[in-house]
Structure 1
């Protein structure tokens, strides 16, 4: 996987994801998107071991989500993650949560790389930037 390629992560809606009306509570779409980003990075070899061994963390800097249709209890969904912008110390993911071909929510999430100890911005490791941009 590299910049521009879409990663897809399957999900199911559980009772804990829903509100009193039986639909997915709006903030849980952000959790679904987080899972897709995490699994995307894990597939590329950038799981928690890599992150911690390189003393870095990724934090959300900006998020914008548009909700289009509700998901309900027991729905099978998929959350996608696709890098739309890659810079030295940040990246933006374009993401969707879908039920079949129907887009339920779409969002753009900018992630900043920070030093794990100081929580100050830092550049991503060169190998990571190269792999994410397709230069491996």
Structure 2
């Protein structure tokens, strides 16, 4: 199920999701998705989640000197994705702190979960690349989207 709004997703108890297809460029010599490509799929979903919230990352950088960087990532590869597979990449906010957000993410092929991930991103100053706190409005907006473990 693709949910257009993370706020709606939280209300419905469903994660935000985007579809993606596996292309030749995504696969390795074994004919399955190369492990690093899953990270790119996860990044795209988080970026689209931000965009759906009305938060354009380039605008945050330009106007607030704020960028998000991956601080940590735990991946559990459950099943391989293959050429031409139509995948669904999901995003849920697990925890929001002043200078970081933890996301639970997954990649699905139909009803089969192929990958489970927990991704911690840090808010940093674009100019100094040092941790910074989210402004109160952004913090509260993201905090409302937390889904307890």
SS of 1:78's partner is: strand
- Matched with 1:88 is 98
Q: Which has the higher helix share?
A: 2
- Matched with 1:9 is 18
RMSD: 1.4
The partner residue of 1:122 within 104, 116, 132 is 132
- Separation in 1, partners of 2:48, 2:134: 18
Please give the TM-score of this superposition, normalised by the length of structure 1.
0.94
Q: CA deviation at 1:134?
A: 2.2
- Matched with 1:51 is 60
- Unaligned runs of 5+ residues in structure 2 are 1-5
Please give the TM-score of this superposition, normalised by the length of structure 2.
0.86
SS of 2:139's partner is: helix
The partner residue of 1:18 within 7, 24, 27 is 27
1:79 aligns with 2:124: no
- Separation in 1, partners of 2:118, 2:57: 23
- Separation in 2, partners of 1:50, 1:133: 21
The partner residue of 2:73 within 63, 71, 74 is 63
Higher relative contact order (CA closer than 8 Å, sequence separation 6+): 1
- Separation in 2, partners of 1:49, 1:60: 16
Q: CA deviation at 1:49?
A: 3.8
- Unaligned runs of 5+ residues in structure 1 are none
